Structure 1
Amino acid sequence: MSTKISIFGGAGEIGMNMYLYESESVAFLVDCGVKFADNSYPGIDMIIPDWDYLKSIKDKLRAIILTHGHEDHIGGVPYLLEDFDLEVYGGNLTIKLLEYKFYERKIKVLTNVVKDKDVINVGDFQIEFVSVTHSIQDTFGLFITNNDLKLLHISDYKMDQAPVNGKPFDVHRFMEIGKKGVTALLSDSTNVVNDGLTPSESSIYNDLLDVFLQANGRVFFTTFSSNLDRIKQVVEICEQIGRKIVVDGSSVTKSVKIGRELGLLNIKQDTLISLQEAKKLDDDKVCFIISGCQGEVNSTLYKIASNERKMLKAKEGDLFIISARVIPGNELNLNNTINKLYYYGAKVVDIEEKKIHVSGHASKEEAKLMLNFIRPKYLIPIHGEYRHLKTHIELLKEVNYDVETEGIFAEDGEILVFEGEKLVGQDNFESKRKYIDARGEFVLTEEDLKLKKNLARDGIVIIQDFGKEFSLETVGFTLNKEDENRLRYFIDENMGVVDLSRDELLVNIVRRFFKKRFDKRPVVKYLI
């Protein structure tokens, strides 16, 4: 019996994780995430996989299983479920985060909350949920079996022995799974380029406390909104040293609300105050937990730095703690935001000098330990850029056990085909992307994006034809009088040369002029 694993995203980039497991009779998805767009994507906020390929197997596609609640794993789910009617499985926190998205988009979905050691059946697949430690609660690895085929899918993990919430990473559980004879390990590659072990989340508490104790004015704290363990530590510090807390920003407000509902955040009732109440207190008695650790345009951090908030402006004495690594592509946004904060007299804690952040991903030694625990027949690195995937395979030279593990390099758009326990081939499908403009929730194709980039770079030329004469208007750039005269002369010189209609001829001539004169390709529009 053949089983296929198709990779839609997450193998070749950080983000956009999505994998399809498929037998001859049934199929299910693991995760459907987003990748946040950088400045090279004008007017685009997020990128998601294009799942047109799924339409050909729509009748046997049953469910989507979610490993955890980070946006690079669940951000695309609402868009997916507008096209496919699927059951959704995930941990309590993951489902809560998604339910807000479903409510906002008015989507009705059958959701199923799972916990550690739960086992579900999707057709001829059996899936066991295996709890792992990460930077968000309710994160699971998936032990997937189909007859003799045994697969372990661990997208995000680290071996945290002192987590802020929940149980430590269960080494013995993974050793027991390894004894069952795992065919393939699909495993997190994000931090395999880093030596050693990733520090525990709880290890940053003292450094955070020290930063707060040295602050003489207001403190603004930001991290990924779903990182409730980090927020919990800040809450405990504020309650210990007597600072009240204002939560500001839609994403972090939502996460704090969910965290309190699920018992992951225990905040005293009088600790949380409003912005108006904060204005009545001394600056050294207030902490603002805000959105925007990546400098996102609509976040609270960005709006404060850009002086867009009437009641909340950066000033001398303010201290900003950005407790997160910048996602590749967001460097320019965040750097500009930090520069603006300094302009207004605020300071930003240097993440390199103070231990105010730790990663949620396994480093090199943890990846090697995982290989020793599982001893798979095949290692298929996922969740990383090419350098991470390749480095992960290179680690096989540094481990020594009684099974010869073959490293399989696979990227987005690849299909891995298994017959029983043997990998018999690698095939391909056309791997495309869709692009989300969050202002209006527009979903754009690659052709739409190409046009957007063209407009941003080369602008628009509008020809308004009055019969004997015409007017020219440019959008996105200004044509000086000399070049406008050159264009008019070029048009007069070439009119009637080709057997085309007047509108087609004018558009063609204008395009040729800009290509020849400026090497520009503006969009040319003809109006009567």
Structure 2
Amino acid sequence: MNSTLLKIKPVGGVGQIGSNMTLIETKKTTLLIDAGILFPSEDFFDINYLIPDLESLIENPPTDLVITHGHEDHIGAIRHVLDKFPNIKIHAPRFAVLLIRNKFDYLKISVQIQEYDNNSILDFNDIEIHPIHVNHSIPDTNGLLIKDRENRISTFLVSDFKIDPINPYEREFDFKKLIKLSKDSQVRVLLPDSTNILSTNLQTPSEALVLKSFQEIFKRKNNRIFITCFSSNIQRIQSAIVSAKESKRRILLYGRSMINYANTAVARGLIEEGSFYTDPASLPNKNNLVVLASGCQGDFRGTFRRIAKGEDTHFKLTSDDLFILSSKAIPGSEKRISLLENEITEQGVEIISSREMLVHVSGHPGRSDLLQLYENYCPNYIVPIHGESLFLKKHIEFINEKYPSAKCTLLHNFDEIHISSSLEISTIKGEPLAPILIHGNGIEIEKHQISKRRKLATTGCIFLSIKRDSLTKRNISFEYTFEGLPNSFTELTEEFDFLINSELSGRKIKLLENTAEELRIVIRRYVHSIIGYKPITIVHFV
């Protein structure tokens, strides 16, 4: 009988950048790779994040969760996976372990994690997983090589990587190990990163070049240098610390997330303890200083935004300062960052971004990096992942042009790849499930409630309370609250009183409680005649 040896099912991370989660299933093993979140677009009205719907996994629940690295789009949904599958075992590399523990300590939740390194072999019944070191923008990042016991099938999932042989902080992509472990497999499946497939950089530049730029900039005469970058980019923090030390400048890490990640890097042994300040008040003085600020995407409460807008308690920009934007704008953040650049410029401060110098490099592969991966791993079958739908399509076009010996397929979340006992590969269309919206303290909120938020934000709201005498049940007063509407509405209360009394006139007392909906409609029509749209209207009797 031609049975399925291996099933691969992306639950998130395909057709999107975020929510990375992939189900691996065999006859004896069911496990997840990564459990990430997706950051919302502007349309979601202050929602914290989105996670994949896990309902499709309940019938055959995963026993293990293997984490590739510590970015939030790979570890941010772990608490929700644990809520659904409390007995699941977590496996993660060292830096991710520290981040996960910090997160769960803050939540006062106990969690057990089995740490692995590049010498580990993760043994799961009829398969084993070999971590393969890759370069990326956060320490201890791995691709995962999944092998069956008979060495017939190798599946290499490498959702985030770059190739950086001259990286000053970590060793290069471990192609030797990948080749050694996979060369004898009859089928080699590759699930590679698609993030930069549209990039004009054929090869992603090295972090060493950013270090060189920082060293050059820090030698300038500017009194203070402000930098903003992703807080999780430990190599960028290291480059700033090294350059500050060489130029005899103090360096302050500013912003909670920046300090948290840096302290984690200290605990990991990647940054020397005492090599940076974290409290502006502890600085001997604020001259000849480097300030590394969090919130590089212009986040509303972020440190970068506060400094740029002149709202920070400790730092006011002057024309002697320099500001380095050492990150790329993620989709949806471009306008916010542009406005902050204008604010900085109006204060007479010079800005250096990637437009002027190489002060940021990506953590993802260019096209020549992808081709180098193909040529080393020699896949028979390639399934692009970690990218929006356009990226995946362009990635497949690139494969067909540059590596036509491999078959490839366009996959969507919840689709399945099946590898049979005769080593035939097929895909099965899945039933897509909408993501779960998470708000506040990790609480799920329904999508229709977001629609209500949108209406509140765009049309405002009218609250009408009708007070009644508890004995006679007669109406004695009306109280109005107008939110998000012109102030002139407070002058229309007499008109509203007349409108409501006219509507209620002649009605029987016992039917008053049933008139709330009719009153709501009348009020909305009246308001529409004044302002041209209908606010949300809520009527209740007190």
CA shift at 1:143, angstroms?
A: 1.0
Q: Deviations over 1:2-48 (max 9, x none)?
A: 34322222111222212122234432111122222343221223232
The answer to whether residue 175 in structure 2 is matched with residue 167 in structure 1 is no
Q: Verify the 8 A CA contact 1:433 1:446 in the aligned structure 2.
A: no
Asked which structure has the greater CA Rg, the reply is 2
CA shift at 1:483, angstroms?
A: 8.2
Q: Aligned ranges for residues 332-347 of structure 1 at < 5 Å?
A: 332-347=335-350
CA shift at 1:521, angstroms?
A: 5.6
Q: Deviations over 1:387-406 (max 9, x none)?
A: 210111011232357x4x22
Q: CA, structure 1 residues 45+308, in 2 after alignment: closer, same or farther (shift >3 Å)?
A: farther
For 2:193, which of 172, 188, 192 is the aligned residue?
188
Q: Verify the 8 A CA contact 1:246 1:288 in the aligned structure 2.
A: yes
Q: CA, structure 1 residues 56+513, in 2 after alignment: closer, same or farther (shift >3 Å)?
A: farther
Q: Verify the 8 A CA contact 1:316 1:346 in the aligned structure 2.
A: yes
CA shift at 1:490, angstroms?
A: 7.2
TM-score, scaled to structure 1 = 0.89
Unaligned 5+ runs, structure 2: 468-473
Q: CA, structure 1 residues 142+220, in 2 after alignment: closer, same or farther (shift >3 Å)?
A: same
Q: Deviations over 1:221-271 (max 9, x none)?
A: 22211211111111111111100111221111122212122221136x465
Which SS does the other structure have where 1:256 is aligned? Answer: helix
The answer to whether residue 159 in structure 2 is matched with residue 155 in structure 1 is yes
**Amino-acid identity (%):** 26
Q: Deviations over 1:295-344 (max 9, x none)?
A: 22232212223444322333332222121111111222322333333344
Q: 1:349 — aligned with what?
A: 352
CA shift at 1:50, angstroms?
A: 2.8
Which SS does the other structure have where 1:361 is aligned? Answer: coil
Which SS does the other structure have where 2:295 is aligned? Answer: coil
Q: CA, structure 1 residues 142+513, in 2 after alignment: closer, same or farther (shift >3 Å)?
A: farther
Q: Verify the 8 A CA contact 2:462 2:535 in the aligned structure 1.
A: no
Q: 1:522 — aligned with what?
A: 536
Q: Verify the 8 A CA contact 1:181 1:376 in the aligned structure 2.
A: no
Q: 1:128 — aligned with what?
A: 130
For 1:234, which of 233, 236, 240 is the aligned residue?
240
The answer to whether residue 203 in structure 2 is matched with residue 200 in structure 1 is no
Q: Verify the 8 A CA contact 2:117 2:131 in the aligned structure 1.
A: yes
Q: Aligned ranges for residues 385-464 of structure 1 at < 5 Å?
A: 385-400=388-403, 403=405, 405-420=406-421, 421-438=423-440, 440-464=441-465
For 1:113, which of 105, 112, 115 is the aligned residue?
115
Q: Deviations over 1:49-90 (max 9, x none)?
A: 2323333333xx111111111122112223332332221111
The farther-off stretch of 117-126 and 225-234 is: 117-126
Count of residues in Structure 1 that have an aligned counterpart in Structure 2 = 520
CA distance in 2, matches of 1:493, 1:417: 69
Q: Verify the 8 A CA contact 2:415 2:430 in the aligned structure 1.
A: yes
TM-score, scaled to structure 2 = 0.87
Q: Verify the 8 A CA contact 1:188 1:382 in the aligned structure 2.
A: yes
Q: Aligned ranges for residues 293-312 of structure 1 at < 5 Å?
A: 293-312=296-315
The farther-off stretch of 228-237 and 16-25 is: 16-25
Unaligned 5+ runs, structure 1: none
Q: 2:470 — aligned with what?
A: none
Q: Verify the 8 A CA contact 2:225 2:291 in the aligned structure 1.
A: yes
Q: Aligned ranges for residues 186-335 of structure 1 at < 5 Å?
A: 186-195=191-200, 196-266=202-272, 269=274, 272=277, 274-278=279-283, 280-281=285-286, 283=287, 285-335=288-338
Q: Verify the 8 A CA contact 1:458 1:522 in the aligned structure 2.
A: yes
Which SS does the other structure have where 1:295 is aligned? Answer: coil
Q: 1:477 — aligned with what?
A: 485
Q: Deviations over 1:179-209 (max 9, x none)?
A: 4234421110011222421111112222121
Which SS does the other structure have where 1:310 is aligned? Answer: coil
